[in-house]
Amino acid sequence: MKAVLIGPPGSGKTTLGRLLAQRLGVAFRDTDADVEAVAGKPVSDIFVEDGEERFRELESEAVRRALAEHDGVLSLGGGAILAEANQALLGGHPVVYLQVGLPDAVQRVGLGSARPLLVLNPRSQLKKLMEERRPIYERLATITVVTDGREPAELADEILKGLGHE
C-alpha cells in the first residue's frame, strides 16, 4: 500500500487520492465506491433503506478487502475509522490524515448534499462528526496534512515528501 487517506467529509480524500495515485503510477481505490458496487446502490440509499449499521458492516468488509488486495492509494470513507477492527487493520500502513477546518469542509461538501449523516442541520452535524473523530484520525495517522485553502497539487507534493517519495 502506498498510502491510505483518512479524514472527514470534504477533506479531499477522493481528489487527492486520484492525484497521488497518478503521480505514483498506481491504482486508486475508494472504499465507498466498493460498498456501492457490492450493494448495487449509492451510500445514501444504503443508509436510508438498510440503516447505518448495515452500511458500517459493508464498509468494514470493503476496508478489510481493500487493505488485503490493493497496493496503490486507498481512500476510506470518513467514518470507516470508527470500527476498532478497521483501526487495527490500518496498523503498519502509511496513513495520511487530511485535516480540514469546518469552513473549508462545508464549502467542499455543500450543505445541500446527499451525505447521509449530514441530513439534519448539516453544518452542526459536520462539526460534531469532525470533533468526535479527530482524536481517532490523529492517532491513526502516519502523517497529517492540513488542507485548508490549499491546492491539490501542493498537498500531493507534501504528502509524497512525507511518505518518502520525493
Query: pLDDT tens, 37-76?
Result: 999 999 889 988 999 899 999 999 999 999 999 999 999 9
Report strand pairing: 143-146 vs 95-99. parallel
Cβ neighbourhood burial of 51 (10 Å; 0-12, 13-18, 19+): exposed
Predicted confidence at residue 106, as pLDDT, reads: 66
Q: How far apart are CA 31 and CA 136, in angstroms?
A: 18
Query: pLDDT tens, 78-91?
Result: 899 999 999 999 99
C-alpha cell at 145: 496534512
Predicted confidence at residue 123, as pLDDT, reads: 66
Q: Does domain 3-160 have CATH number 3.30.470.10?
A: no
Domain range annotation of the chain: 3-160
